[in-house]
Chain A
Amino acid sequence: MNTNLRKLFYVPILHAREASENKQGGEFNAGQSAVGEMWAGITAKIEELNLPWNKTRIYQDGLPVSGKEMEIVTRLAENGSLNHLLILNLLMQGAKLEGTENMDFLMREYDLLNILLMKQAGADMSAGDPGAKAEYQAKSRGLLAQRDEFIANRIKTTLQEGEVSLVFMGVMHRLDKILEKDFPISYVIYRIPFRSVGAIYNTALK
């Protein structure tokens, strides 16, 4: 298959550190957090790309191939994830959503996180559990490589000629390295957010 005609826009994202806490009835409230501020920047940059939305497929970090992709994105958006809210907006403009990750791998990641957080909760609060962190890092590194491989294959097999992909991937992933030999990759300009001073002040005022 000639992949030259398929383009890939790669959006390195920070995991939604505050997104799940940013419950504002589904509306962006960028003043709430640096996460909101970051997503405002990413939204603006994506709009500047003027992508042909009816020929654009969206791939998302953590979204399993499950037949329930739309429900998952909607639920996460309802829970305040600005990342998923942006995706919903792009879908309304005509973009297509693709299941991206292997569910089994995500379950393994979830289990690893469970173990890490349980050990952490049981450890001395000040020191944490360095052993648990190291164990998690070692195991999750290998799993991340497997996830990246799966995602790369998923993109290669679902993206059609003449189509554009918009890939939202956490900065720890190395997916772009795998895909760069198959696709011309354009990076949506990074935007490094500072924490919103507004959010800090609002907290201070409470």
Chain B
Amino acid sequence: MKPMRLKPSLLRACQPASPALRRACPIVFSPIYLNADKISTEKLLALYHFANLFFPQMGPGLVQTIMDMEKHGERLSAGISPQERQRLIGKMKGLSMDIQYALKDEGQKMLEISIHIVPGEVLERAQHGKLDLAQYRQLRADLNKLMVSLIEKEIRRRFTGKVGEFFQTLLQGKRVPSFITQLLDMGWINRKGQLLEDASIDDLLSGKYRGQFARLMPEELIQEGMQIRETIKTCFAVGADDPDSLIQDARKRHALLEITIQETRRTPPG
């Protein structure tokens, strides 16, 4: 995984792929990579806990550090003449500080945040007296929502895969349990034991089939399912705090679809 460089305020990104992107060289806050191929269900739970711990504490801590730098910079710049200030900024030219956070599983990076701070730019920002806490809160909320949707999706995929494998072994036995036959009849699973669209983890873990599911499934799988359910619940709780996100998303998709539909109806010129 290629590390991403970034610089909040102070920070400039990145190793853009094209010359156009390189020219654009955005100022970004915190690019984060999730290496989905390296993430297992257990690791996802760890990742979720990690994210909960990592961002609320490290994130503001980091922002605080940066803001402190800016505040100190402000004080410093208030006490000196504009010429001296510029000279100081000039002297700092070329100085930079790199911080890298990485979550690894057996040496393979699952999640990585690299931050590149340029003190000269910190001072320059301090000159303009910008504070970033409100914006940071928004950034963190955005991150949470994105993280939640990815984690939730991956958790469901892994769990249904595991459950499917176990159903398959039950289906291959000489005597198929009635619980499995019922799920088959209801169209929740197919002949290969794979869970179909209508079946949910909740239905199996706490719905009508809870008793049979608990009796037939290995204890570890039940435990894992419960943990996953809990995690998803928490994820939904995190994701549910922005009632406008659905509407915002709907507006954007509506706009894209409108253009698409117009284009399909357009008569070619001539």
Given contacts A117-B251, A120-B247, A194-B142, contact A110 B258 (CB under 8 A): yes
**Closest-CB distance, B134 to chain A (whole angstroms):** 10
Given contacts A20-B256, A120-B247, contact A191 B17 (CB under 8 A): no
Chain B residues closer than 8 Å to A41, beta-carbon distance: 4, 14, 31, 33
Query: Quick one: closest A residue to B157, CB to CB?
Result: A177
Alpha-carbon distance between A128 and B192 when the two chains are bound, in angstroms? 44
Partner of B146, one of A14, A40, A199: A14
Partner of B17, one of A44, A68, A103, A200: A44
Query: CB distance B250 to A136 under 8 Å?
Result: yes
Q: What mask results when residues 27 to 46 of chain A are scored 1 for a CB within 8 Å of chain B, else 0?
A: 11111101011001101100
- Interface residues of B, CB < 8 Å — how many? 67
Query: Quick one: closest A residue to B1, CB to CB?
Result: A189
Query: CB distance B264 to A103 under 8 Å?
Result: yes
Query: Quick one: closest A residue to B139, CB to CB?
Result: A194
Alpha-carbon distance between A159 and B223 when the two chains are bound, in angstroms? 40
Partner of A28, one of B20, B197, B260, B261: B20
Partner of A31, one of B25, B29, B157: B25
- Check if B46 is an interface residue, CB within 8 A of chain A: no
- Check if A47 is an interface residue, CB within 8 A of chain B: yes
Query: CB distance B252 to A28 under 8 Å?
Result: no
Chain B residues closer than 8 Å to A114, beta-carbon distance: 254
Alpha-carbon distance between A136 and B254 when the two chains are bound, in angstroms? 13
Q: What mask results when residues 108 to 123 of chain A are scored 1 for a CB within 8 Å of chain B, else 0?
A: 0110011011001000
Chain B residues closer than 8 Å to A44, beta-carbon distance: 2, 15-17
Query: CB distance B20 to A75 under 8 Å?
Result: no
How many contacts A-B (CB < 8 Å)? 205
* SS of A interface (majority): helix
- Interface residues of A, CB < 8 Å — how many? 72
Chain A residues closer than 8 Å to B65, beta-carbon distance: none
- Check if B257 is an interface residue, CB within 8 A of chain A: yes
Chain A residues closer than 8 Å to B254, beta-carbon distance: 110, 113-114, 117
- Check if B150 is an interface residue, CB within 8 A of chain A: yes
Query: CB distance B34 to A43 under 8 Å?
Result: no
- Check if A5 is an interface residue, CB within 8 A of chain B: no
27 CB-based A-B contacts, threshold 8 Å: A15-B252, A20-B259, A27-B24, A30-B13, A30-B21, A30-B26, A31-B26, A36-B26, A40-B17, A43-B17, A63-B260, A68-B266, A71-B266, A72-B260, A72-B263, A76-B256, A106-B261, A113-B254, A114-B254, A189-B33, A190-B36, A191-B34, A192-B33, A193-B28, A194-B28, A196-B27, A197-B28
B residues within 8 Å of A by Cβ?
Answer: 1-2, 4, 8-9, 11, 13-18, 20-21, 24-37, 130, 132, 135, 138-139, 142-143, 146-147, 149-150, 153, 157, 160, 192, 194, 197, 243-244, 246-264, 266
Q: Please list the 4 inter-chain residue pairs (A to B) with the smallest Cβ-Cβ separation, ordered nearest first.
A: A198-B27, A31-B26, A190-B34, A30-B26
A residues within 8 Å of B by Cβ?
Answer: 12, 14-20, 27-32, 34, 36-37, 40-41, 43-44, 47-48, 62-64, 66, 68, 71-72, 75-76, 79, 81, 89, 103, 106-107, 109-110, 113-114, 116-117, 120, 128, 133, 136-137, 145, 171-172, 174, 176-177, 181, 186-187, 189-201, 204
